[in-house]
Structure 1
Amino acid sequence: MRVGLIVDSACDLPYEFSRKHDLFVLPVTAVIDGQTYVDEHEPVRTQEFYQSGLLQKGHHAETRAFSPRQIHDLFMEKIVTQFDVAICETVTRSRSLIFQNATEAMNSVMAHYHEARKVAGRDGTFSMRVVDSRQIFAGQGLLAAHTLRLIGQKLPKNVLRNEIESFTNSIYTCVIPRDLHYIRERARKRGDKSVSALVAFLGRTLNITPVIFGLGAEGQPAAKTRSFDTAVEKVMNYAAARVQAGLLTPYVSLSCGLTWIEIEDLPGLNRLRDACERNGVDLLLSQMGITSSIYIGPGSLCLALAAEPHEFNDFQ
């Protein structure tokens, strides 16, 4: 039984990790200044976007989920003919139509896959599940890495699905936005009122950089700092201490909307690397994808790990 894992391009993971494990990336359409781009999480294209400045504020940028028809066609061509069981993990349904559209596509695929498998020479039935990760960015990447670990254990498909859906409730995410005003403007265009005008104003005028912390995508301010570097150091200290205390899966996922030179200069990064190495944990360090960067703003940072219930300040 060959099991395939599908993620969407809001999922931040190192490119080499995704390629090694044969992850299929469901693209998202990015529309920037009226021009349409397909974000397939390809590193060269991502780097070109960072260098071009198209992701900076001042450019009108938005993301659009692939339609159910587009997703159906991709599933029929790339998934049905290659796998016997497929799991599609999407960015949280509260922030995107990807889950809804992928579910509609899955239902259509399940009614029409037989001929495609016959032509491809694959015997037996095909099954599929679309899972709302309830995560964003690095959190979605962490869930994908853990799912691959579970797939390697060759669990029965129903056990696998239950393990995935249970595990997502233990993923803690830290987000450091570089520009609260940017986030508020992007959120306003989506109809999301979670970032108030007052918070954005304070962040811009007083140079306050918050650390947003919580389970999955439902975070709250856990710290307010006077600089991005101070906020980063707090997050790195938290992650290193939490790694030392123990995790529920041996991964820490970290994505950054920065150039690689800037990423390597992040304060506390080497401390986190050392903690991971000492404790047998893989640090999944990646450059934030186009979709993620449009959503939260270039220059931002997202870190995720899975652990027993705790608070951010427990590990400062």
Structure 2
Amino acid sequence: MRVGLIVDSACDLPYDFARKHDLFVLPVTAIIDGQTYTDKHCPVRTQEFYQSGLLGKGHEAETKAYTAEQIHDLFMEKIVTEFDVAICETVTKSRSQIFQNAAEAMNSVMAHYEEARKAAGRDGKFSMRVIDSKQIFAGQGLLAAHTLKLIEQKLSKNALRHEVETFTDKIYTCVIPRDLHYIRERARRRGDKSVSAFAAFLGKALNIVPVIFGQGAEGKPVVKTRNFDMAVEKVMNYAVARVEAGLLTPYVSLSCGLAWTEIEDLPGLNRLRDACESNGVELLLSQMGITSAIYVGPGSICLALAAEPHTFNDFQ
């Protein structure tokens, strides 16, 4: 039984890790200054976007989910013909249309897959499940890495689905937005009022940089610092202490909306690397994808790990 894992372009993972594990990335459409781009998590294209400055302020940028019809065609061509069981993990459905469109596409695929499968010379039934990851960015990447680990254990499809759906509630994320005003403007266009105009004004006027912490996408500000480096130090302190206390899966996922030279200069990054190496944990360090950077703003950071219930201040 060949099991395939599908994620969308909001899922941040190192390119080499995704390629090694044959991870299929469902594209997202990015529209920047009226020009349409397809985000397939190509590292070269992502780097080009960072260097061009197209993701920064002054540019009109938004993302658009593939339609159910587009997803159906991809599933029929790339998934039905290659796998016997497929798990599709989408960015949290509370922030995107991708889950709904993928679920609609799955229902259509399950009703019509036989002919495509026969033409590809694959015997037997095909089954599929679309799962709301309840995560964003690095959190979605962490869930994908853990799911791949479960797949390697050759669990039954029902056991695999159950493990994934229960595990996602154990993931904690830290987000450091570089510019609250950017996030407020992007959220306003989506009808999301979670970032108030007042908070955006404070962030701009007083150079306040918050750390947003919580389970999945449901985070709240837990620390307000006076500059970006201080916020990064707080998050690195948390991650190092949490790694040393023990995790529920041997991964820490860290995605950064920065150039690679800037990522390597992040305060505390080498301490986190050392802590992960000493504790048998793999640090999944990636450049934030185009979709993620448009959502939260270039220069932002997202860290995710899975652990027993705790608070951010427990590990400061």
What's the TM-score bracket when you normalise by the shorter of the two chains? over 0.9
Residues 230-249 of structure 1: pairs in structure 2 closer than 5 A: 230-249=230-249
1:55 aligns with 2:67: no
- Where does residue 133 of structure 2 map in the other structure? 133
- Where does residue 101 of structure 2 map in the other structure? 101
Amino acid at match of 2:235: V
- Where does residue 117 of structure 1 map in the other structure? 117
Write the distance in 1 (CA, Å) between the matches of 2:183 and 2:224.
16
How large is the Cα RMSD of the aligned pairs? Answer: 0.2
Q: In structure 1, list runs of 5 or more residues that go unmatched.
A: none
| Deviations 1:127-168 (CA, angstroms, capped at 9, x unpaired) | 000000000000000000000000000000000000000000
Write the distance in 1 (CA, Å) between the matches of 2:186 and 2:169.
27
Residues 26-45 of structure 1: pairs in structure 2 closer than 5 A: 26-45=26-45
Write the distance in 2 (CA, Å) between the matches of 1:58 and 1:114.
49
Write the distance in 2 (CA, Å) between the matches of 1:218 and 1:17.
27
- Where does residue 180 of structure 1 map in the other structure? 180
Amino acid at match of 1:176: I
- Where does residue 212 of structure 1 map in the other structure? 212
Residues 121-270 of structure 1: pairs in structure 2 closer than 5 A: 121-270=121-270
Residue 221 of structure 1 aligns to a residue whose secondary structure is: strand
Residue 41 of structure 1 aligns to a residue whose secondary structure is: coil
| Deviations 1:201-245 (CA, angstroms, capped at 9, x unpaired) | 000000000000000000000100000000001000100000000
Residue 92 of structure 1 aligns to a residue whose secondary structure is: coil
Amino acid at match of 2:312: F
Amino acid at match of 2:172: Y
Write the distance in 1 (CA, Å) between the matches of 2:24 and 2:139.
17
- Where does residue 308 of structure 2 map in the other structure? 308
| Deviations 1:75-104 (CA, angstroms, capped at 9, x unpaired) | 000000000000000000000000000000
- Where does residue 275 of structure 1 map in the other structure? 275
Structure 1 runs, 4 residues or longer, greater than 2 Å off: none
Write the distance in 1 (CA, Å) between the matches of 2:11 and 2:110.
25
- Where does residue 70 of structure 1 map in the other structure? 70
Write the distance in 2 (CA, Å) between the matches of 1:267 and 1:27.
32
Write the distance in 1 (CA, Å) between the matches of 2:185 and 2:170.
30
- Where does residue 290 of structure 1 map in the other structure? 290
| Deviations 1:242-277 (CA, angstroms, capped at 9, x unpaired) | 000000000000000000000000000000000000
Write the distance in 2 (CA, Å) between the matches of 1:121 and 1:57.
50
Amino acid at match of 2:209: T
Residue 219 of structure 2 aligns to a residue whose secondary structure is: strand
Residue 210 of structure 1 aligns to a residue whose secondary structure is: strand
Write the distance in 2 (CA, Å) between the matches of 1:69 and 1:76.
11
Write the distance in 2 (CA, Å) between the matches of 1:192 and 1:311.
25
- Where does residue 46 of structure 1 map in the other structure? 46
Write the distance in 1 (CA, Å) between the matches of 2:105 and 2:58.
35
Alpha-carbon offset, residue 57 of structure 1? 1.1
Write the distance in 2 (CA, Å) between the matches of 1:139 and 1:315.
19
Residues 77-96 of structure 1: pairs in structure 2 closer than 5 A: 77-96=77-96
Alpha-carbon offset, residue 61 of structure 1? 0.2
Residue 36 of structure 1 aligns to a residue whose secondary structure is: strand
Write the distance in 2 (CA, Å) between the matches of 1:309 and 1:128.
31
Write the distance in 2 (CA, Å) between the matches of 1:177 and 1:44.
24
Amino acid at match of 2:262: E
TM-score (norm 2): 1.00
Write the distance in 1 (CA, Å) between the matches of 2:157 and 2:103.
18
Write the distance in 2 (CA, Å) between the matches of 1:170 and 1:294.
26
- Where does residue 10 of structure 1 map in the other structure? 10
Residue 135 of structure 1 aligns to a residue whose secondary structure is: coil
Residue 211 of structure 1 aligns to a residue whose secondary structure is: strand
